[in-house]
Structures are given as structure tokens and as C-alpha cells.
Amino acid sequence: MYEAIDRFVAKYIALTEEELAFFHSLLKHRKLKKKSFLLQEGEICDFEAFVLKGCIRSYYIDKDGVETILLFAVEDWWVSDLTSFAEQKPSHLFIETIEDCELLSIDFKNKSLLFQKIPAFERMFRLLVQRALGVLQQRFYASVSQTAEERYLQFMEKYPLIAQRVPQHQIARYIGVSPEFLSKVRSTMYKKH
């Protein structure tokens, strides 16, 4: 059960067997069915979850009821609401499974304990946050500088395995267009080629 997360951690930090065992003792194993919520708007996010199996989406719904998908998480990815988790404040996000999922999660109290006992984990999580921030900056830049077609092609190139696992209307919400608009974009692209 811990092989995947141990491989992931080993990319960032070296741990002893005792440290790994302590880390494992702080993790909670969860199995969730498709269309289950890990988090809903207004709740305080008390987990950071590593995806062992499945696909998850994180999104918000604006005042007009329009959904915007912030990220998809698949195997070997982490999912959480970083702001709600770090500040222990109510979330604006929904985190929902797209497929049946299996996760290993750590709560706020146990993550603090982990940092206290094994400071190397602070480095790993800092690097993960830096990577997440970089991805968000790239997405923001793309949203203001690229056409919908360019954003769609970039998504398909960067995340081909996710594109096969999520519906087109969710890809549309990820790249910031309506499903109808994405359908027109795709139709135009296919006519060109």
C-alpha cells in the first residue's frame, strides 16, 4: 500500500526505515466511490491526499453557477485546498472524485507532527508547493495570452492520460471555456487537419 508514496518521497528526501514507518503511521488509507466529495465549499480542508488510484477534480462555482476546474489529480499526485489547509479557514473549493479512488491522506495535526519529528519533510512539501505555484502561474499566463485552441492543445499535449479519463465538458471548464465553445474549437481544428 505504501510503495507508491515511498517512491514519490524518495525523489525528494532520503529517509531511514524508522522514519518511513513513522510517516506511514500518520497516514490514513481511504477508498472512495466515483462522485464522492472529499471537500465541499464552506468546509475546512483537513487533509492533503496522495492519489494511489483514480482521478479527482478540484473546482469552484462562481456566483452565476459557472464551474471552473482548477486541477485534475491522478496517480502519484497530491490534492488539497492548500489555503484552507494551511490557514484552517473555510474553503471556496469542491474536491470530488471522477473515478473510484484510493488515497493516503495526512491531516493538519499529523502533518505538523511529521514536520516536528522529521524536518526533511518540510523541504519536500516546500518543493511541492513551489511546483504547484509554478503550474498556477503558467495557467494564469496561458489564460491571458493564449487562445482557447492553444490552451486545449497544450492541455492535450501536457496531460494526454488525463484527457483520456475525463469528459470533454470538464476539460472545457479547466481551460476556461464553455463546453459548447470547446466543441466549436475542436470542430474547427479537425476541419483544418
pLDDT along the chain (193 residues), means of 10: 96 96 98 98 98 97 94 96 96 98 98 97 94 90 89 90 91 90 81 71
At 193 the pLDDT is 65
At 185 the pLDDT is 80
Residue identified by cell 518511513 is: 20
Q: How far apart are CA 129 and CA 134, in angstroms?
A: 9
Residues present in the chain in total: 193
Grid cell for residue 160: 494526454
Instruction: Compute the half-sphere exposure of residue 184: CA atoms within 13 Å on the CB side of its CA.
Output: 5
Strand order in the sheet with 101-106: 28-32, 101-106, 48-53, 78-79
Q: Do 82 and 129 meet the contact criterion of CB atoms below 8 Å apart?
A: yes
Beta strands in 54-107 (DSSP E): 56-61, 67-73, 78-79, 94-97, 101-106
Q: How far apart are CA 16 and CA 14, in angstroms?
A: 7
DSSP structural state of residue 68? E
Dihedral through CA 187, CA 185, CA 168, CA 66, nearest 10?
A: -140
DSSP structural state of residue 88? T
Q: Which residues contact 169 (CB under 8 A, 6 or more apart)?
A: 179, 182
pTM: 0.91
